């Protein structure tokens, strides 16, 4: 039985996030903010608002010191790290309570993109995942995750001007903020929190001042900061209260969504503050070195956590939902949930229909960083066979602009009102009427007041993972190569991007000649790599998804400007594109094809299997992996896991008479190079796989607690050359201007 939840009065004038936080800490101290999923010897753990409040106090002390180094009246505090959600969300709340503005920054951004975000917002304080005060003499001795983080921060500091003084802070450890989790003891409520909170004085701010900054996914050259002011934040708070669905007391699987993403913050923080929902979270873990482990959500560990917690609502990407749907036992659990929401990208119709037929209460969620939730959260009763469609939330004022292409197609436009304002890339200093064009094309249901998203005016590619790619800048970089006449990216609703390449006249190849195509891809590969460097990690291109066409056989439709006509080309090549994605295995690297895992007598060599696994992981992650470290802490994600599995299957096909069943989640089951290697070796040698029992889970906890001690923070100042290069490009240059921009984009 849940304690009584006292609802805040959201109509209170000048209601700020810090006042709302104080309300819950003081009036709902024993009400759950979240529940941590059971892990190994631990059971589910409730985190109350009182315990969150105690953690906030500890963080605000550090932030008060950091704020003194900034001239801004309301300091902006960035978070640039991958972390489990409990600490990340707590840190966001603590920054708000300290009177600062939290700015979550995706760790997938390039160094240049992060510099752009820091400079454009004036963010002078940044949380990172390592201790910046510790001198490091040998970077290679550090865990791979910390190596990558330190290298990127070093690049960021070198790119910042000397005058930009960036203060680095270490991201807090879970067992520092919630120490009782280290030994499994019960939480003792802090009765003096009201007095401690009263001592944290924050200045009053105008309604147009930002209370949160998030950033776009990089649909232009760089991601842009989006300023969430108090009125916009209020609309985020009230959106769930405008629907028929009973949100209060619902346990939500908040561990799934990226904590740095607007959607993750909304469903892991914001609606807890307004609707009394409870966040289901992973329990923090530490490795053998005593350091916190970032647990990347995947279909296996998320489903385990949701079952353990008994989540009633989940918000998931179409990609993960498709993985859930491949296992009947998962569908059985999803059927018990009150709602299974998906958003961020298109859902495969066949999978959606299958889930609905099985009794899963599927609901589409649609919104944007600038608008917040657009769809009602959720319709009650649920939409059933109309699961693809959404109802526009009643807290919005919208306009539908008819499109010429077909009847029933509209661009959705959102207007400002007394209950909602859109968040913009510029700071507002007054509230003028707004007309925000979403650029999303929606299709109206023939008979019901429902809509579904069918595309974008600006051709943005939305993957099944919910990640977004703007193809324009990447295509411009590729077209600068003299051997490429045209490039057009594809991937909507798929797990990864691909590209159609039209060779220049002097470089045409017979597409039926695989060796000739490979030689051509080798020729243009430097330009592909250059485009990959420019783009976020989720947008990168691989050799397996490059489609080289022969214009003598397949002439592509062109626009009046001589560029490839996107919509018509994708229609013409739709079958070929589907064939690329439907291949069970991706093309293996030539080096892998030459590797032999059997000796002259046909015996499987354990060392050769290990070398093979090391090689495919290195190719996939583009870095040397640590053999015994979790791959997901070394940069592996769901797309990389799929590639690794594909190449393992390819090894079985070449080295075994029969291909054993390789589970879809094999990389999640054995998330280290050594573990994967041992599994593959035993399969090839027809030996039953045996896994050693886990060591005492308390050992790493004790080591971490023993090693941890408070550190003094210092400013880290960057140095760089003062040299600058400037080129002027006017709009009349068109394609030449695009190519010149692409050439110098890193200069």
pLDDT reported for residue 744: 56
Chain-centroid distance of CA 528 in Å reads 23
Residues 121-140: pLDDT tens digits?
999 999 998 888 887 766 77
Range of weakest confidence among 69-73, 86-90, 357-361, 737-741? 737-741
Instruction: Look over the chain and give the mean of its residue pLDDT values, rounded to a whole number.
Output: 83
Angle (CA) 146-151-152 rounded to 5° is 100
Q: To the nearest whole percent, how much of the chain has pLDDT over 90?
A: 40
Length of the chain: 747
Q: How confident is the model at residue 340 (pLDDT cuts 50, 70, 90)?
A: very high
Q: What is the DSSP string of 313-362?
A: EEEE-HHHHHHHHT-HHHHHHHHHSSEEEEESS---HHHHHHHHHTT--E
pLDDT reported for residue 218: 62
What is the pTM for the complete model shown?
A: 0.69
Candidate CATH numbers 1.10.1200.10, 2.60.40.420, 1.10.287.110, 1.20.1440.230; the one for domain 592-691: 1.10.1200.10
- Max distance between CA atoms of the chain, in angstroms, equals 81
Range of weakest confidence among 29-38, 61-70, 658-667? 61-70
Residues 260 and 79: their CA atoms lie apart, in Å, by 8
Q: In this structure, what DSSP letter does residue 186 have?
A: P
Angle (CA) 88-536-256 rounded to 5° is 35
Chain-centroid distance of CA 393 in Å reads 25
Using the predicted structure, report yes or no on whether residue 92 has a pLDDT greater than 80.
yes
Half-sphere exposure of 397 (CA within 13 A, CB side): 11
Would you list the domain boundaries of the chain?
317-467, 468-535+543-582, 592-691
Using the predicted structure, report yes or no on whether residue 354 has a pLDDT greater than 90.
yes
Residues 328 and 53: their CA atoms lie apart, in Å, by 41
pLDDT reported for residue 728: 53
Residues 135-186: pLDDT tens digits?
776 677 777 777 788 888 999 999 999 899 899 999 998 888 998 888 888 9
pLDDT reported for residue 69: 58
Identical fold for domains 317-467 and 468-535+543-582, yes or no, is no
Residues 662-702: pLDDT tens digits?
888 889 889 899 999 999 888 888 754 444 444 444 554 45
Q: In this structure, what DSSP letter does residue 390 have?
A: B
pLDDT reported for residue 18: 92
Tell me if 715 sits within 8 A of 69, measured CB to CB. Answer: yes
Residues 315 and 396: their CA atoms lie apart, in Å, by 22
By C-alpha distance, which of 133, 162, 164, 163 is closest to 150?
133
Q: How confident is the model at residue 716 (pLDDT cuts 50, 70, 90)?
A: very low
Using the predicted structure, report yes or no on whether residue 559 has a pLDDT greater than 70.
no
Mean pLDDT of 373-391: 90
pLDDT reported for residue 102: 96
Residues 243 and 379: their CA atoms lie apart, in Å, by 7
Q: Which residues contact 371 (CB under 8 A, 6 or more apart)?
A: 396, 414, 422, 423, 436, 438
Q: Specify the CATH architecture of the domain 468-535+543-582.
A: 2-Layer Sandwich (3.30)
pLDDT reported for residue 71: 59
Residues 428 and 650: their CA atoms lie apart, in Å, by 56
pLDDT reported for residue 331: 96
Residues 196-249: pLDDT tens digits?
988 888 888 888 889 999 998 764 457 889 999 998 999 999 999 998 899 999
With tokens 């599995």, the residue in question is 645
Q: Specify the CATH architecture of the domain 317-467.
A: 3-Layer(aba) Sandwich (3.40)
How do strand 484-490 and strand 372-373 relate by DSSP bridges? unpaired
Packing angle of the helix pair 144-159, 111-121 (nearest 10 deg): 50
How do strand 101-104 and strand 313-316 relate by DSSP bridges? unpaired
Comparison of pLDDT for 286 and 280, the residue scoring more: 280
By C-alpha distance, which of 665, 691, 661, 693 is closest to 678?
691
Residues 580-602: pLDDT tens digits?
886 534 444 455 555 677 777 77
pLDDT reported for residue 303: 95
């Amino acid at each position: 039985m849940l304690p009584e939840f006292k609802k805040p009065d959201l109509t209170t004038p000048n209601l700020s996030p810090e006042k709302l936080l104080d309300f819950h800490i003081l009036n709902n101290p024993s009400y759950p903010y979240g529940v941590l999923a059971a892990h190994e010897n631990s059971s589910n753990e409730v985190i109350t608002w009182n315990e969150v409040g105690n953690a906030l106090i500890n963080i605000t002390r550090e932030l008060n010191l950091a704020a003194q180094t900034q001239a801004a009246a309301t300091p902006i505090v960035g978070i640039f790290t991958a972390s489990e959600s409990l600490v990340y969300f707590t840190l966001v709340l603590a920054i708000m309570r300290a009177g600062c503005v939290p700015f979550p920054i995706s760790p997938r951004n390039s160094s240049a993109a992060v510099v752009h975000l820091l400079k454009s917002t004036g963010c002078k304080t940044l949380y990172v995942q390592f201790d910046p005060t510790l001198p490091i003499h040998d970077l290679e001795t550090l865990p791979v995750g910390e190596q990558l983080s330190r290298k990127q921060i070093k690049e960021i500091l070198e790119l910042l001007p000397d005058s930009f003084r960036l203060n680095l802070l270490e991201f807090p450890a879970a067992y520092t903020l919630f120490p009782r989790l280290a030994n499994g003891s019960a939480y003792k409520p802090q009765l003096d929190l009201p007095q401690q909170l009263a001592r944290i004085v924050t200045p009053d701010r105008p309604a147009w001042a930002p209370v949160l900054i998030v950033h776009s996914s990089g649909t232009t050259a760089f991601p842009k900061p989006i300023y969430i002011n108090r009125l916009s934040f209020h609309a985020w708070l009230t959106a769930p209260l405008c629907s028929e669905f009973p949100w209060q007391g619902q346990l939500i699987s908040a561990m799934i969504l990226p904590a740095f993403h607007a959607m993750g913050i909304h469903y892991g923080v914001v609606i807890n503050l307004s609707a009394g929902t409870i966040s289901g979270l992973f329990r923090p873990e530490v490795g053998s070195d005593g350091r916190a482990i970032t647990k990347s959500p995947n279909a296996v560990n998320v489903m385990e956590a949701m079952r353990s917690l008994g989540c009633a609502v989940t918000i998931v990407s179409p990609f993960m939902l498709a993985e859930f749907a491949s296992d009947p036992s998962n569908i059985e659990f999803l059927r018990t949930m009150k709602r299974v929401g998906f958003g961020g990208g298109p859902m495969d119709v066949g999978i959606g229909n299958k889930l609905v037929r099985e009794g899963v209460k599927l609901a589409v969620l649609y919104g944007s960083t600038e608008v917040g939730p657009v769809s009602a959260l959720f319709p009650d009763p649920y939409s059933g066979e109309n699961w693809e469609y959404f109802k526009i939330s009643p807290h919005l004022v919208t306009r539908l602009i008819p499109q010429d292409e077909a009847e029933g197609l509209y661009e959705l436009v959102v207007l400002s009102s007394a209950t909602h304002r859109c968040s913009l890339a510029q700071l507002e200093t007054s509230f003028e009427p707004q007309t925000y064009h979403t650029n999303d094309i929606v299709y109206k249901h023939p008979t019901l007041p429902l809509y579904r998203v069918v595309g974008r005016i600006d051709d943005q590619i939305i993957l099944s993972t919910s990640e977004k790619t703007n193809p324009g800048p990447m295509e411009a970089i590729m077209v600068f190569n003299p051997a490429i006449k045209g490039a057009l990216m594809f991937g909507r609703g798929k797990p990864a991007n691909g590209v159609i390449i039209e060779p220049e006249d002097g470089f045409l190849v017979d597409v039926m000649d695989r060796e000739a195509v490979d030689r051509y891809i080798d020729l243009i590969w430097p330009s592909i790599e250059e485009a990959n460097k420019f783009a976020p990690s989720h947008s990168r291109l691989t050799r397996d998804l490059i489609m080289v066409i022969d214009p003598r056989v397949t002439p592509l439709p062109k626009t009046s400007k001589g560029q490839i006509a996107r919509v018509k080309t994708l229609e013409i090549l739709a079958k070929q594109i589907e064939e690329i994605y439907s291949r069970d295995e991706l093309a293996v690297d030539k080096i892998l094809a030459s590797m032999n895992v059997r000796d002259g007598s046909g015996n499987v060599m354990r060392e050769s299997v290990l070398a093979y696994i090391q090689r495919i992981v290195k190719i996939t992650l583009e870095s040397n992996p640590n053999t015994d470290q979790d791959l997901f802490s070394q940069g592996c994600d769901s797309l990389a896991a799929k590639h690794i599995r594909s190449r393992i299957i390819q090894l079985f096909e070449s080295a075994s008479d029969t291909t054993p069943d390789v589970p879809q989640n094999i990389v999640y089951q054995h998330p280290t190079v050594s573990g994967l290697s041992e599994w593959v070796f035993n399969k090839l040698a027809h030996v039953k796989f045996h896994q050693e029992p886990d060591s005492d889970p308390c050992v790493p906890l004790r080591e971490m607690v023993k090693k941890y001690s408070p550190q003094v923070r210092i400013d880290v100042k960057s140095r760089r050359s003062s040299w600058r290069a400037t080129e002027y490009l006017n709009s009349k240059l068109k394609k030449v201007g695009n190519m010149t921009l692409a050439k110098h984009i890193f200069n």
